[in-house]
Amino acid sequence: MCAASPVPFAPGGDMDSPSTPREVDQLLTHVDWVVTCDASMRCIPNGAVAIDGDSLVAVGPTDEVQAAFRGRREMDLKRHLLLPGLINTHTHAAMSLFRGMGSDLPLDRWLQEVIFPAESLHVNPELVYWGSLLATVEMLKNGITTFCDGYFHEEATVSAALDSGMRAVLGQGILDFPSPDQPDPGRSRERAETFLSKFPAGTDRIRPSLFCHAPYTCCAETLQWVKALCRDQGILFQMHLSETAGEVKRMVQEHGTSPVRYLDQLGILDSATLVAHAVWLQPDEIELLALRGVGVSHNAESNMKLASGIAPVRQLLAQGVRVGLGTDGCASNNDLDLFTEMDRASKLQKVASLDPTAAPAPEILSMATRQGASLLGWGREIGSLEMGRKADLVAIDLDQPHLTPLYHPISQLVYAAQGSDVRHVWIDGRHIVDGGCVKSVVEAKVMREAARIARKVFHRGNPVRCT
């Protein structure tokens, strides 16, 4: 399940023959288990990490790390498990303020009768900012350090990501009909270009993206100019794809081919394209996604709640398709917890295939970490605990009944751990969650503002009322 290893990092590092311990910013020691999520999924008992600036400079057994490094700040993490920050590859952060609206409806009715009307009435920069900030608080407390977003008024989500300290890919949403921030679809290109031109410079912690909602809400011309703009800017192109059987049937009727084939004919598919859901795929479509290098965000809980189906994750991985995990938005999940997402993702594949060996824990944890990093273009910087990587880390409190006893660290993370077990989070070496409390923003204020806006949503033409 998880191979223990005393090897701190590659030979030639600072720990080979230290004379005087090197001083670094932070030293985290006596960790019961360091789960590296590197290529071999190494797990280090009684481990430690050394952090200098925003990077990891050592990962290994505590005695070796302490012999080579001295921290300006040191933390003893006995009875904790340390792992890379989790990576949420698909969400709509601002929709945390629509949590619980339109439950128990199929996707088409959920969108047409609840979500689109609610967005038309209520979505503005203020809602997007506070909804996104609320989402970042939830994600941070659940050990998510990086998220990939797509929504309207995305500048407000940019501000929320900067204020929270999270790492993010932030996509401006684009549709072929009036949207909350673009009442004239004919000016969508102008809207996208304005978003990109005003995107903050000077930090690599947030990156821009463009998000076409779906092949059935964006015409061929829109899909092509958006993808061309993404290529020109060197940024990620995002969209929903083949989420329901009805969507696929409609695309075949209207275009004479499947959604994947249609997008390929338009030149949309390449390694800088990220598609969400990808539930209803034929074998030849999976081969095509692999050939083009397309990334897939698997959203198990959202697919379950909307009864969209079970994505063919085993087949995608077998063909070499890069697959990460996403929560989707709170309106269709209804939380932002990748620990429960890992559990559901694994078990869905097992029950769908009637094979208990399907989607094993290490494979699923890799999807939530290193594979997610690859999808978002951060494959060399985050997603694992290795020397030279960014110091994005999460510490889990193991003193919990549901985490006792612990025989296999990775199995415990995937099948037993919960977001509420997170005690500490670091991003770029910055200690953002301390003792379960978010330090980068005032949680109480975020909750108050979210509640204030929610009251407006409920009283001003809310399409779904309590009965």
CA distance 18 to 64: 10
**Based on the domain organization, do 63 and 111 belong to the same domain?**
no
How do residues 46-92 score in pLDDT, each as one tens digit? Answer: 999 999 999 999 999 999 999 999 999 999 999 999 999 999 999 99
**Cα angle vertex 370, ends 355, 289, to 5°?**
65
How do residues 166-224 score in pLDDT, each as one tens digit? Answer: 999 999 999 999 999 999 999 999 999 999 999 999 889 999 999 999 999 999 999 99
**Based on the domain organization, do 276 and 420 belong to the same domain?**
no
Strand pairing partners for 140?
none
**Based on the domain organization, do 235 and 247 belong to the same domain?**
yes
Q: Specify if 466 maps to a domain.
A: no
Q: Specify if 324 maps to a domain.
A: yes
Backbone φ and ψ of 8, nearest 5°: -75, -45
**Based on the domain organization, do 231 and 111 belong to the same domain?**
yes
Name the 3-class secondary structure at 258. Answer: coil
Domain count, the chain: 2
Q: Specify if 444 maps to a domain.
A: no
What CATH number is given to the structural domain containing 70?
2.30.40.10
**Based on the domain organization, do 214 and 248 belong to the same domain?**
yes
**Based on the domain organization, do 242 and 363 belong to the same domain?**
yes
Q: Specify if 462 maps to a domain.
A: no
What CATH number is given to the structural domain containing 262?
3.20.20.140
Q: Specify if 454 maps to a domain.
A: no
Q: Specify if 441 maps to a domain.
A: no
pLDDT value at residue 108: 85
pLDDT value at residue 111: 86
Assign residue 378 a region (left: φ > 0; alpha: ψ between -120 and 50; beta: otherwise). Answer: alpha
Q: In this model, does residue 317 exceed pLDDT 80?
A: yes
Rounded (10°) angle between helices 220-233 and 188-197: 20
**Based on the domain organization, do 327 and 419 belong to the same domain?**
no
* Domain extent at residue 428: 22-85+383-435
**Based on the domain organization, do 127 and 48 belong to the same domain?**
no
pTM attached to this predicted model: 0.94
**Based on the domain organization, do 370 and 399 belong to the same domain?**
no
**Based on the domain organization, do 234 and 316 belong to the same domain?**
yes
Q: Specify if 169 maps to a domain.
A: yes
How do residues 228-273 score in pLDDT, each as one tens digit? Answer: 999 999 999 999 999 999 999 999 999 999 999 999 999 999 999 9
Q: Do residues 228 and 200 touch, judged by C-beta distance below 8 A?
A: no
Q: In this model, does residue 14 exceed pLDDT 60?
A: no
E strands present in 36-103: 43-52, 55-61, 69-76, 80-84, 86-91
**Based on the domain organization, do 333 and 426 belong to the same domain?**
no
**Based on the domain organization, do 310 and 205 belong to the same domain?**
yes
